[in-house]
Structure 1
């Protein structure tokens, strides 16, 4: 008895939390993916060096894992062993290799990416907030809509305007409207909020 594997393409099964599906153009019901599904980059370390392979998501599986609540998508990588182009200096995407995947997501216009230190979590039923410094040098507590959270950053949907200054300093006591002093632009505790440019890799990442 032998196992046979295709060498013209490889398929990789990837689990996704259901909360991440809102950022991806993937069908959730009885529908086919478009002719070209979302692009995906697979990364792994092999023989002590980092490698990556590019492919596309070709389908989703029609079930949700009962334990992990994960939805599985299947990505396809053409020529995983470099048979068609021997000049490629990369490791083969061999069966059994553990990889991490980054799927191209939707572009979100008019959003803001801030350091997580700028976000103040809901602790008194007031929702997520940031501290904005107005033109008069007063601190304003501003409710915002958090669209996505990363390890170091958050993506804000509504609540900010281009050019507003957002404080990232940890303040012991905050009163809306209290005067604050910015010690100079080069050493300021405030960052200027600016719209996040459209990301080539479709941030937020999944």
Structure 2
């Protein structure tokens, strides 16, 4: 029994030791909870030089397409040996010749008609002079007849001349008077006959000019340096008036029409629109509006890793809007499309080549821009001076590429969060880290350098 109770004293001693140790220690120190800062990438809002622009894609087509049609009928007696599809020929090259035989005969006939009419006109001048002289003679003869008639009338009254003799003299006087009147009538008709011959000469000269014009039309020449697009004629072939012979494209100017969303084009124009422009568009004001907006353009060809550019001019806006895509056609032109080509380096702007076009307006200074990704339903995440999050509503302007212009709600020097922040709680503590790469890309995008 005593042995069974021997384990109790050690247990009591252990409990006493534990109590002594516990009662001699201080209570654990409690620390207040610490707020953890979220790391975010930021940029500093800085005024930049902004070039409003839009981009689109389209195919090259020549500025001028010349369709040669036969203006006269006839047999083709000559075709330039180099007149083939794709050939480039210089201005003034005679590419087709139609037989001139019919028109040379027409010229000879018209010239003969002119000479004949001129001879008749000269004859009328001589006839007029001769008739005038003859009229004077016959006038004198009339005076003699009238005197003789008067004498016989007096003798008849005295009974010394027979009535038959008086009647004969009267008939002779009437015949003389008729001859005199015929000569006067002839003189009266001569001016009309002269006018008829003059008109005949004019008609013959018109026929001569027409024949000469047709003769020139038998030789078809290129009006400018051109690339042959289509050939529809061969030697010894008979062509009809109005028949299409050759189609050629100009080399000096190339055009591109790109379809651009109406909203983007409108925003670009609005961003580059100066004050004081007149309302409405007329033929007189459109040139001023385009000049004031300051449109400029670039045509860009991407060939693998290479990017080839041509300076271009904004020409005009297409006449219609695509109802399906709600886009507007913007047309730009490139001068010296072939002259600026370099073999092996810069190809010519050939018809059908698919290119990118960029249209710009005048640059605008002191614009605040941020990446599009930094905008959250019309709000920006801004780091305040206490490094806490401020969710700020802003008014946006032009949006192009990966940037957007902030018109109101942001000032120069503000720190803008450009990384994802989920969840975003107003006033949360942040640990900002400047992202110089994003800022550099943003500035390049604003000036247009990032598109190359």
> TM tier, shorter chain?
0.7 to 0.9
The question of 1:107 aligning with 2:363 is answered yes
Match of 2:404 in 1: 154
Rounded Cα–Cα distance in structure 1 between residues aligned with 2:420 and 2:306: 40
Change over 3 Å in CA distance of 1:177–1:106 after alignment to 2: farther
Q: Distance in 2 between matches of 1:68 and 1:105?
A: 24
Matched, 1:32 2:286: yes
Equivalent pairs counted in the alignment come to 193
1:11 aligns with 2:267: no
Deviation at 1:47, TM superposition (A): 8.7
Q: How does 1:1-206 map to 2 (within 5 A)?
A: 1=232, 2-22=246-266, 23-24=268-269, 29-30=281-282, 32-34=286-288, 38-46=295-303, 49-82=306-339, 89-120=345-376, 122=377, 128-182=378-432, 187-188=433-434, 201=448
Alpha-carbon distance in structure 2 between the residues aligned to 1:14 and 1:189? 36
Q: Tell me which protein shows more helix as a share of its residues.
A: 2
Q: Is the 8 A contact 1:168 1:191 kept in 2?
A: no
Q: Normalising by structure 1, what TM-score?
A: 0.74
Shift of 1:137: 1.9
Q: Secondary structure at the match of 2:250?
A: coil
Q: Is the 8 A contact 2:252 2:339 kept in 1?
A: no
Instruction: Give the Cα separation in 1 of the matches to 2:370 and 2:305.
Output: 34
> What displacement does 1:189 show?
7.2
Deviates more, 1:149-158 or 1:8-17: 149-158
Question: Which protein is bigger by CA-based radius of gyration?
Answer: 2
Pick closer, same or farther for the CA change 1:71–1:117 going to 2, 3 Å: closer
Cα displacement string for residues 171-204 of structure 1 (whole angstroms, at most 9, x for unaligned residues): 222222333333xxxx4479998x969955599x
CA 1:141 to 1:86, structure 2 compared with 1: closer, same or farther past 3 Å? closer
CA, structure 1 residues 129+190, in 2 after alignment: closer, same or farther (shift >3 Å)? farther
Quick check: 32-41 or 158-167, which moved more? 32-41
Deviation by residue 1:158-178 (Cα, 9 ceiling, x = unmatched) = 211000101123222222233
* Alpha-carbon distance in 1 for matches of 2:339, 2:333: 14
Unpaired runs of 5+ residues, structure 1, are: 123-127
Q: Any conservation in 1 of the 2:396–2:405 contact (CA below 8 Å)? A: yes
